[in-house]
Structure 1
């Protein structure tokens, strides 16, 4: 677990606790300090409170509440363009132009290495935690 004060924050959003814990572990192993939310509505509240510290939003698509992962990605991209975004789902895929430019989509299930590869490409060098700079 990485708890150094210089590590960037990531927000993991998934209504399934086991999946969220898995993503949480992957992101912590990648060097992030990780926040979590159970749905898109809770995620917006976390983003509003911590947006200056968060560099990555990693969200599921199908969740309860007023925002699914696609809507969350669009809103977060619009309100906080400095935050990199990964959307993941094992059931649905985004339609053309459903996600903003620069947002990554991952199919579930995914391996930690797949996540790391995407994050290495997605995050600007100044926002990558040390383990992803390799």
Structure 2
């Protein structure tokens, strides 16, 4: 999960499914430092601004501070203090239209995906992360996201 070098074909925005981030803000909530740092670097490489939350509570506080700027939240499902589902429930009390994609190394299984724009399986590729990011940011609603088979 490392960004490609600048000379790689993956750095081409047409390869990754859309224009670069142009400063759009993403909140990344994951307790795993390696996953969080690598994912942040991937997104920043394409021009996204990334705010990090090291756990559920930290992510909620970051969202409350920056919610007007945040266009998408990547949320780990399994964290020690709060599960991703618990964090999502609290995020939705703040903003019922919040755009959230789960990140997880586990299978979807019994996870409730009703209010989730995407489920991103770890490990993921640079290209798949960027394609998912762009598609969610470009959606106007959860219904539109579900219709586009995210």
TM-score by length of 1: 0.77
Q: Deviation string for 1:53-95 (max 9, x for gaps)?
A: 1111111111121x21122223323422453211111124252
Paired residues of 1:77 and 1:100 also in contact (CA < 8 A): no
Q: Which residue of 2 aligns with 1:109?
A: 123
Secondary structure at the counterpart of residue 12 of structure 1: strand
Q: Which residue of 1 aligns with 2:87?
A: 72
Unpaired runs of 5+ residues, structure 2, are 1-21, 141-150
Question: How far apart are 1:125 and its partner, in Å?
Answer: 6.7
Secondary structure at the counterpart of residue 55 of structure 1: strand
Paired residues of 1:11 and 1:34 also in contact (CA < 8 A): yes
Secondary structure at the counterpart of residue 27 of structure 1: helix
Question: How far apart are 1:112 and its partner, in Å?
Answer: 1.1
Q: How far apart are the structure 2 equivalents of 1:61 and 1:8? A: 23
User: Is the radius of gyration larger for structure 1 or structure 2?
Assistant: 2
Give yes or no for the alignment of 1:45 onto 2:56: no
TM-score by length of 2: 0.69
Q: Deviation string for 1:13-62 (max 9, x for gaps)?
A: 11111110011112212321111011111111111111111111111111
RMSD: 2.1
Aligned residues: 119
Give yes or no for the alignment of 1:88 onto 2:96: no
Unpaired runs of 5+ residues, structure 1, are 1-5, 127-134
Where in structure 1 do 4 or more consecutive aligned residues deviate above 4 Å?
Answer: none
Q: Which residue of 2 aligns with 1:131?
A: none
Q: How far apart are the structure 2 equivalents of 1:94 and 1:52? A: 33
